[in-house]
Structure 1
Amino acid sequence: MEALGIAGNVAAAAPMPDLPAGFGKGRSVIVLGAGIAGLVAAYELQQAGFDVTVLEARDRVGGRNWTVRDGDRIVMDGEADQVARFSDGAYFNAGPARLPSFHHRILGYCGKLGVPLEVEINSSRSAFLMGQKGDKVRMRTAINDTRGHVAELLMKAVNQGALDQSLSAADKQALLPFLKTYGDLDATGHFAGTLRSGFQAFPDAGVGVFARPPAPMPLDRLLANEQLPAMLFEDNVYMQATMFQPVGGMDRIPAGFERALRRKVVRGADVTRIRNRPDGVEIAWRDTKTGAGRIARADFSVCTIPFPVLAKVDCDFAKPVAQAIAGVVYDHSNKVAFDSPRFWEQDQIYGGISFVGGETSLIWYPSAGLFSPRGMLLACYTSGERAEGFAKLPIADQVERARAAVERLHPGHGKDLINGVAVNWNKIPYSLGPWPNWFVGMAGHQEGDIDTEGYRLLCQPAGRTVFASAALSQTPGWQEGAVQSAHHAIAAIAGLQRADLGARPDRVAA
């Protein structure tokens, strides 16, 4: 993809090893967990000739990739079950809901597996920023009026010589016209408003109504809206257009992987014990429907069980590995979604996100089914401390507070929202959280800079078991990280296989 210029300036991670088709012939692997990491590992190891068995505790594949549809049951620890009651064809991506254009590994699998994609509209200039006092501003106004005010101030500073020590005469000569264009300033360097922010009235036919910019929003009003920094949301490289989503729901990706597996995923297989033996692994699991205990054996295992869940499994890992697993702290994340008529399209909002702050954080408008009668509106998506507190509320209160946030932004439409459902990821069995916080209690670290002792240890094989998870990537909240980690795990399995071959001269690689 780099040869085509698709990867651009985003550096690619180490590629998956190129394994010959018969490399794993006569050898077996048990994959624990059918999330994206597990499915990728199973698919690629199968392609390399290994005999692969996938054990999944849930009654579905996908792990955190979970699309809720009409009739689906949402089960959470300590909560009454919720049953989704959605319009025909409506769906709610309770987990991941977008694919950045530079996540070429997961996008590549979509192409290989025949999973059709469509554009996910991650940002709309018609959406809103709404402060806690109820003051709201269109995204286009916030972006362009802020640029205009800042450009005017900077032009004044340049003209008054305030930046003479930083700018040469040539720099100033080049910068001033740029600032005029950047802020849409008038000939005197004043920001008097811009058509980039919209119209006072829409231009019409003939000469009756001309295009005129609205009066600029005063800078102090813009700055008083605590959601103003969210106007930079789409500048984050992970959020930049073009974003994608599978047609019909994110779960089309795990479904595509499962179709490609020669052996069906064993559902309802709750792993209870993991043992590394000198010549293989032994996995004990319980059938969640019958309660019957089973034993599975293989040469190797790929463990993708989320670490808060794995910490409760009887394992014989070395003490440092067990301590590393027990020490992984997961973040909090919540979503609340409603079935609704598309009232937001009356405000020219087609996809994108309005930022409302508070305990619900945002309102995310659907990209699929534009101009159709109904759609799924995400009225809450939070993480971190605010999500931890929100998840402590009764489910009914979570739903009503999300409705109230919609009502504040779109007065009169809170009543249009029906059949709300809430997902608190820290209560989801077999997940117990959305993604890890490797630096809990530590300051100064960001996604993409994960390098703790525990992280390094879990990236290595533990006997004949290797770990794979988005949690073991530099992007633990993204499916691309799960693919990268699966590829890393496959390389580790290949290393163990080669070590076996070296120790047993009677075996030769295909």
Structure 2
Amino acid sequence: MVIERPRVTIVGAGFSGLVAARELEGAGVEVTVLEARDRIGGRAWTEQRLGHTLELGATWVHWMQPFIWTEITRYGQTIYPSPVTENAYWLSGDEVHHGSEAELDAKLERPQAKIFEGSRDFFPYPHDPLHILGSGDDELIARFRAADQGSVLDALRDGDFTQEEIDLADAYWSAGYNGYTASASPLMAKHWASLSDHRLSLLDEQTLRFKLTGGMRGIYEAIAADLRAQIRLNSIVTAVEHDERGAAVTLEDGTVLRSDAVIVTAPLGALARISFTPPLPEKAQEVVEEGFNCTGFKIWIKIKGHHSLIAYAPTGHPIALVRSEYFLDDDTTILVGFGSDHTTIDLDDRDQVDELVKRWRPDLEVVECTGHDWGADPWSGQTWATPRSGQFLEGWSLFRGTQSRLRFAGADWAKGWNGVVVDGAIETGITTARGLIEEFRAMKEA
């Protein structure tokens, strides 16, 4: 069958969906983009709150993240750094420790080096994370598979690491995985290390240092402005039928859109809301039911006075990491924070958050706090994708291809920076769209 002008339906208007639409349109494909929310951007969302422009979702970017850096260059955006803080506080047991950010980083070096062990062997090509499974090295493959089991902190349990070091690593990775460290696959931390030249300092720089001057909105709105495709907001997809010839997408109002392919960019946490016919493969369905490890939250906190600080707390404390981001003219400071469980905190409850912040410094006073509960959001059901034990090998990769015209794209399924930054979303938007373009061309030439 020859398709003269292919049509593709894209579910989701986040970075992945918008980039896929742009790529497809450039090859002459007709595109319709369906978005359940009343806005574009997905888990990137720039908004005015607390008297400042804030990122409720994805925030930090870096020139070593190749896909987002291309978009920053394409649209003439600029970046600026988050501040290096003057004071560091970390909880261990019943004690609050105090030092500089450099001293805190130094204390993390030894446990992090242990957690990163094996990263060079396991990820010789960081953007091809499963490469060694085809290496033929049985001993290495066995070690690789074993490293996907247990907890990210297991490496520290049998050594000579102090409880303070373990608590610091626990706090760091509670924020990094945005979920409980006890269920977090050790392989993700090693993969992040490989994407950062196996250096903790570069990992911190890539994930928590540089922000877009115009906000994430400056990029996702620019991509949308380049599209000819219709972006239909408030369009809730309830069902997707797919076979080797095309797909039919059903909306909540009963409307059915037929096309030659469908790209679903919804996060794993939202896939249970869509009925797939035929069903997803059994292992993929099991991952949907289990969910990823990202059960946490991001919060913005305004406090009285100008305070330059970073603070850590291990499992058992709702907020694992908080740091100063903005110093306002009204003599207030806006902090950004992360924790492992969105059900343990009310992101708008000033009194609760004030009590939590005082665990580090009793003199601090919270004025206001805000955030978006991505875990409770029906169109995300999670924050950035991080794997549970066993899911690095049996998780994201299960959604990379199908035998029909159903495709998945989004940060959850990226080979490189999957989950935590928009780089992975752009990566899969491009690669998924290009795969369909080549398929359509091959059919036309046959």
Is 1:97 aligned with 2:59?
yes
Is 1:480 aligned with 2:446?
no
Q: Deviations over 1:304-335 (max 9, x none)?
A: 11223222312213552663563451221212
Is 1:498 aligned with 2:438?
no
Find 1:127's aligned residue among 57, 77, 87.
Answer: 87
Percent identity of paired positions between Structure 1 and Structure 2? 21
2:41, 2:287 → 1: CA distance? 22
How many residues align? The count is: 358
Structure 1 equivalent of residue 302 of structure 2: 339
Distance 1:434 1:396, change over 3 A: closer
Structure with larger Rg: 1
> TM-score, with normalisation over the residues of structure 1?
0.62
* Alignment of structure 1 residues 364-443 onto 2, 5 Å: 364-366=323-325, 372-373=329-330, 377-378=334-335, 380-383=337-340, 387=341, 391-393=343-345, 399-414=350-365, 417-438=366-387, 440-442=388-390
Distance 1:277 1:136, change over 3 A: same
* Alignment of structure 1 residues 238-253 onto 2, 5 Å: 238-240=203-205, 243-253=209-219
Structure 1 equivalent of residue 124 of structure 2: none
Q: Which amino acid aligns with 2:210?
A: F
Contact 1:308–1:325 (CA under 8 A) maintained in structure 2:
no
Select the structure with the greater relative contact order (CA < 8 A; seq sep ≥ 6): 2
> TM-score, with normalisation over the residues of structure 2?
0.70
* Alignment of structure 1 residues 132-211 onto 2, 5 Å: 132=92, 133-142=95-104
1:461, 1:413 → 2: CA distance? 53
Distance 1:249 1:374, change over 3 A: farther
Q: Which amino acid aligns with 1:355?
A: Y
Structure 1 equivalent of residue 319 of structure 2: 360
The alpha-carbon deviation at position 365 of structure 1 amounts to: 1.4
Contact 1:43–1:260 (CA under 8 A) maintained in structure 2:
yes
Q: Which amino acid aligns with 1:404?
A: E
Contact 1:35–1:65 (CA under 8 A) maintained in structure 2:
yes
Contact 1:38–1:486 (CA under 8 A) maintained in structure 2:
yes
2:265, 2:274 → 1: CA distance? 13
Unaligned runs of 5+ in 2: 110-161, 177-198
The alpha-carbon deviation at position 441 of structure 1 amounts to: 4.2
The alpha-carbon deviation at position 339 of structure 1 amounts to: 3.4
Q: Which amino acid aligns with 2:99?
A: V
SS at match of 1:500: helix
1:261, 1:402 → 2: CA distance? 42
Distance 1:371 1:56, change over 3 A: closer
SS at match of 1:425: coil
Q: Which amino acid aligns with 1:377?
A: I
Structure 1 equivalent of residue 275 of structure 2: 314
SS at match of 2:301: strand
1:412, 1:224 → 2: CA distance? 24
Unaligned runs of 5+ in 1: 1-23, 71-85, 148-221, 287-291, 504-510
Contact 1:36–1:483 (CA under 8 A) maintained in structure 2:
yes
Distance 1:434 1:462, change over 3 A: farther
Q: Which amino acid aligns with 1:39?
A: L
Q: Which amino acid aligns with 1:407?
A: K
Structure 1 equivalent of residue 144 of structure 2: none
Distance 1:413 1:300, change over 3 A: same
The alpha-carbon deviation at position 405 of structure 1 amounts to: 3.5
SS at match of 1:424: coil
Q: Which amino acid aligns with 2:421?
A: W
1:146, 1:56 → 2: CA distance? 41
2:420, 2:4 → 1: CA distance? 34
1:112, 1:485 → 2: CA distance? 18
Distance 1:473 1:278, change over 3 A: closer
Q: Deviations over 1:214-248 (max 9, x none)?
A: xxxxxxxx985766558999825332269421124
Q: Which region of structure 1 is more displaced relative to structure 2, 130-139 or 99-108?
A: 130-139
* Alignment of structure 1 residues 210-249 onto 2, 5 Å: 235-240=200-205, 243-249=209-215
1:36, 1:309 → 2: CA distance? 16
Q: Which amino acid aligns with 2:42?
A: G
Is 1:257 aligned with 2:236?
no
Is 1:111 aligned with 2:62?
no
Distance 1:461 1:277, change over 3 A: closer
Distance 1:110 1:272, change over 3 A: same
Q: Which amino acid aligns with 1:44?
A: E
2:412, 2:249 → 1: CA distance? 22
The alpha-carbon deviation at position 375 of structure 1 amounts to: 6.1
Q: Which amino acid aligns with 2:343?
A: A
Contact 1:34–1:265 (CA under 8 A) maintained in structure 2:
yes
1:143, 1:309 → 2: CA distance? 36
